[in-house]
Amino acid sequence: MTLSSKDGDSIRLTDTRALTGLRFLAAFHVLLLHELPDEIANTGPIISELLERTAAVSIFFVLSGFLMSLGRGTREWKSREWLTFLKKRVAKVMPVYYVGFLVFLPVFLMRLSRMEDANLLDGIFPALANLFHIQSFLPHFEEPWYINRPAWTIGVFMTFYLMFPYIHSWLLKKSARVVGLLFWIFFIASQAVVILLESNLDMNSTKIEILHKFPLVRIFEFLMGVTAGTWLNLRNEPLNVESKYTFPIALSTVLLFIFLPPIFSNYIHNGLLTPLFILLFLSSSHGTDRTMALLRHGPIYRMGEASYSFYILHLPLANYISLAIIFLLGDSMRFTFEFLILDILIVLPITLWFYNKFEEPMRLRILGQTSSNL
């Protein structure tokens, strides 16, 4: 069975270690997206399109809502309990976010000084926007704008975290059938928004960032995760998705990701594959086959624990690696396969060390005696 029996008032996944490994694979895809060249000579438009296509952030949004709602169960939110919930989220994301911000800031200022018709004063507003996590609410501004580009997701997550107690409380008043229906309504809405924005915005300009980054556009992926988890908790009987289906589901997801025509790229980016993600989460939560062993043990699982540090710090580290190469060789190797291999070999151990020595100790220090339950 995918789900363990009810523990009090919530249903727990039998084994979430595979999902921890999956987080790293998604974060690793983000690194590839940033470090591979936009085009590879003599490969044609299909490969170029795949180099820009991603569903990694969509996995982050869906998985976050799914696990939080499952873990919370059917317990009502008591007075001020949401503050404890928010404190735990802040303890997880903020320290690493600001380390990434400070590490990347010198690179940002150096780039700003080299841009035509720009001066250091032009960096004040972007710096403040990134400092206070509002860059995702103003996503279509021209460069310079993002300080540590992957970090835009944290402002989106914080928006979701602020809304989660109210959304979850509202869903608990509904029947399992209604919550299940809401999942599909949110799914349709996530794709309808893509149709609407593609029809009304210039997708060849920075306005495409509204589709990719604006919190109230991306919220439907989070809502699908929340409704899926809440639906499982409200059901009278657990849902069985056997582990033998994990590989077929994963393969189907990858094949759709690769072979759907370019017209579907923004739809994939904004949640088209979510139903398959949910099935994958469920089927991978138990079983002992080799596929699961790869995700639950060894380096992939260890990097899964450090996936947030990896995600936030990989781009600042890549920029400093590039600067060091320029200093030593006089020319950057950036966006080459040689640089990619070097970058991976350096970023993996540094971010794992950072997780063990800073991220996790700082989280525990901030939480103090706070319970580990949601």
Residues 193-216 pLDDT 10s:
999 999 999 988 888 999 999 999
Res. 226: pLDDT tops 90:
yes
pLDDT band per the 50, 70, 90 thresholds, residue 101? very high
Res. 9: pLDDT tops 80:
no
pLDDT of residue 67: 93
Nearest to 4 by CA among 226, 57, 12: 12
Choose the weakest-confidence range: 21-25, 128-132, 173-177, 285-289: 285-289
For residues 275 and 109, the answer to whether their CB atoms sit within 8 Å is: no
Which positions ≥6 away from 180 have C-beta within 8 Å?
A: 227, 231
What is the distance between the alpha carbons of residues 271 and 219, in angstroms, rounded to a whole number?
Answer: 10
Which positions ≥6 away from 1 have C-beta within 8 Å?
A: 14, 238, 240, 286
Full-prediction pTM beyond 0.85? yes
The more confidently predicted of residues 79 and 203 is: 203
What six digits make up the tokens of 161? 């975290």
Nearest to 265 by CA among 55, 17, 27, 72: 55
pLDDT of residue 331: 84
pLDDT above 90 coverage of the chain, percent: 63
The helix-helix angle for 152-172 and 81-114 (nearest 10°) equals 160
Res. 16: pLDDT tops 70:
yes
What six digits make up the tokens of 292? 């699961």
Choose the weakest-confidence range: 65-79, 108-122, 351-365: 108-122
pLDDT band per the 50, 70, 90 thresholds, residue 370? very low
Give the other-Cβ count within 10 Å of 159's Cβ. Answer: 20
For residues 28 and 59, the answer to whether their CB atoms sit within 8 Å is: no
pLDDT of residue 5: 43
Residues 119-171 pLDDT 10s:
777 788 889 999 999 999 987 777 667 789 899 999 999 999 999 999 999 99
pLDDT of residue 12: 57
When pLDDT is averaged across residues 171-196 and rounded to a whole number, the result is 97
pLDDT of residue 11: 53
pLDDT band per the 50, 70, 90 thresholds, residue 40? low
pLDDT of residue 45: 60
pLDDT above 70 coverage of the chain, percent: 89
The amino acid sitting at 325 is I
The more confidently predicted of residues 298 and 164 is: 164
> What's the mean pLDDT when you consider all of the chain?
88
pLDDT band per the 50, 70, 90 thresholds, residue 7? very low
User: Bridge-partner residues for 3, per DSSP?
Assistant: 13
What is the distance between the alpha carbons of residues 124 and 344, in angstroms, rounded to a whole number?
Answer: 32
Residue with tokens 């899964």: 304
Rounded to the nearest 5 degrees, what angle is found at the Cα of 284, between the Cα atoms of 291 and 151?
Answer: 95
Which positions ≥6 away from 361 have C-beta within 8 Å?
A: none
Q: What are phi and psi of 4, to 5 degrees?
A: -75, 165
pLDDT of residue 6: 47
pLDDT of residue 236: 78
Domain ranges of the chain: 17-367
Which residues in the chain belong to E strands, given as ranges?
none
Give the other-Cβ count within 10 Å of 170's Cβ. Answer: 11
Per-residue 3-state assignment (H helix, E strand, C coil) for 289-337? CHHHHHHHCHHHHHHHHCHHHHHHHHHHHHHHHHHHHHHHHCCCCCCCH
pLDDT of residue 1: 38
The amino acid sitting at 6 is K
The more confidently predicted of residues 142 and 345 is: 345
- Taking CA atoms, 226 is separated from 4, 91, 274, 300, in Å, by 19, 21, 12, 26
Res. 284: pLDDT tops 50:
yes
What six digits make up the tokens of 230? 């809440």
For residues 41 and 307, the answer to whether their CB atoms sit within 8 Å is: no
